Amino acid sequence: LTVSPQPSSALDAALIEIERSLGPSQVATDDEIRQRYGHDESEAVPHAPDAVVFPATARDVVEVMRVATRRLIPVTPRGGGTGRVGGSVPVAGGIVLSLERMQRTKAIERNDSIAVVEPGVVTGELHRQVEAEGLFYPPDPNSAATCQIGGNIAENAGGPRAFRYGVTRDYVLGLQVVTAEGSLLKLGKRTFKGVTGYDLTSLIVGSEGTLAVVTEATLKLIPKPEAVATLLAFLPDVRSIERATIAASTGGVVPRCVELLDREALTIARENALTPLDDGRAHAMLLIELDGDAAALARQVERCGNALTQAGALKVVSASDPVERERLWETRREMSRALRARARHKLAEDVVVPLSRIADLIDACQTIAQACGLRAAAHGHAGDGNLHVNFLWDRDDQTAQAQRAVRKLFEAVIAMGGTLSGEHGIGILKAPYLGLEQSDELIAVQRRIKRLFDPYAILNPGKIFG
């Protein structure tokens, strides 16, 4: 089933009904707002919706979905708009359903170690709220300052701390969702464990807003680590990344992050650094972060540093003071922006390979980029084998080469036993490549699940399966 362009009479009627029910301040159709909600932070071509609706409650969402189903109006749910694959771009028009006004933290249950939140809560804000209670919500996508929990759930967001602590799905215990047809369902549990029935919670997490709209989430929290320390290790060659990453888990203690800058990224970082990073010999840099009990941590940093040196590191520096730690993070955090300043065009991909293939992946990026007349730089979550590969070019007529490079990259990643996306999702930008990773039969099963949840194909149409 696909939705044909909705006749404007159906759309107008739907908007009148929604406005009558939700109130006029919750429906916007003026050009400026429509434009603003027509793009995300990816290279996906913007597409302004016909209207933006701002529900304040789950009942509002139920009402919108009922009307949309009755009138066959496409609905694209939207969080902070920080997506990297066009997942919240309303390619079929219709309604953008922005959850930003549902931004209450309904509860932080300290002793039960859970938080109950609405989807519009900004992730960084949740971090602050739970940390004030001595608790910790590990997922930390780079966009934490502006992205929202609802979007994190839709994309199963990760971030540096995923190496030790896992991704969003690992912290979603239960969900309240509204189906395409407007039913309110409570999925999952409030407890850490629970195996009653099928795990629909995990199915909704990462479904990119194509199966249901999340209106509330119950999140698992853990105790806030007492202390944190950060190390930088400068490595002589790309082959030592694997060895150093394994060495960083000394004594069975897994670092919370193992982040990487490859040679090209490190070169740019050096040029941007206010104080020299190293003597220029290194071909890669790892940023490692450990956390835990304060006294144990000092010893762990020493052990980890020694292990990194033994694994071949040319230089290791560490910091446990927050200000110093922030300085060590700066090069890593600013890399995406720094790369953008280096070329007129940048295409960033988010691929994953087994750790044993990470050097092969970095080599492949350079080979592919050269063959296509582009430059490449990679950085990201080395511990998880999850790299953000950037192709850079300056001439407007090189777009086709960049597309060719991306396809070659995906083919190489799949051949290495990897996956197309580690944390950004498929959205519209990667939809054409889904068949590289998944069989027709597996895609067909997923399409049947999509149809089960959304029989009229009105919920975020065009995503994942194209």
Residue 422 within binding range of a copy of itself, rule CB under 8 A? yes
Residues whose CB falls within 8 Å of the CB of residue 269, separated by 6 or more in sequence, listed in order? 261, 277, 285, 331, 335, 338
User: Is 314 among the residues that bind a copy of itself (CB under 8 A)?
Assistant: no
Q: Are 148 and 99 in contact (CB under 8 A)?
A: yes
**Residue 95 vs 288, nearer CB to a copy of itself:** 288
Residues in the interface with a copy of itself (CB under 8 A) total: 94
1 binds a copy of itself per the rule CB under 8 A? no
Q: Is the dihedral of CA 100, 446, 50, 57 positive or negative?
A: negative
Q: Which of residues 25-44 bind a copy of itself (CB under 8 A)?
A: none
Residue 165 CB, nearest approach to a copy of itself (Å) = 11
List the one residue from 30, 31, 197, 400 that touches a copy of itself (CB under 8 A): 197
Region from 41-49, 88-96, 276-284, 290-298 binding a copy of itself, contact rule CB under 8 A: 290-298
Q: Which residues contact 392 (CB under 8 A, 6 or more apart)?
A: 339, 342, 343, 345, 346, 374, 375, 376, 377
Q: Tell me if 440 contacts a copy of itself by CB under 8 A.
A: no
Near a copy of itself in 157-176, by CB under 8 A: 158, 162-163, 166-167, 169-170
Q: With binding defined as CB under 8 A, does residue 445 bind a copy of itself?
A: yes
Q: Figure out which of the listed residues 46, 124, 182, 292 binds a copy of itself, where binding follows CB under 8 A.
A: 292
Q: Which is nearer to a copy of itself, 253 or 338 (CB)?
A: 253
Q: In the window 327-366, what residues touch a copy of itself (CB under 8 A)?
A: 352-356
Query: For residues 158 and 162, what is the distance between their CA atoms, to the nearest angstrom?
Result: 6
Residues between 86 and 125 that touch a copy of itself (CB under 8 A): 109, 111-114
CB of residue 8 to a copy of itself, shortest distance in Å: 33
Measured from the CB atom, the residue of 391 and 410 that comes closer to a copy of itself is 410
Of 372-411, binders to a copy of itself (CB under 8 A) are 381, 384-386
Contact between residue 166 and residue 423 where contact means Cβ atoms under 8 Å apart: no
Among 1, 16, 145, 185, binds a copy of itself (CB under 8 A): 185
204-233 residues near a copy of itself, rule: CB under 8 A:
205-207, 211, 222-227
Q: Does 132 bind a copy of itself (CB under 8 A)?
A: no
Minimum distance between the CB of residue 296 and a copy of itself, rounded to whole angstroms?
3
- 438 belongs to the binding site for a copy of itself (CB under 8 A): yes
- Does 189 engage in binding with a copy of itself (CB under 8 A)? yes
- When the beta carbons of 53 and 416 are compared against a copy of itself, the nearer one is 416
- CA 309 to chain centroid, in Å, comes to 32
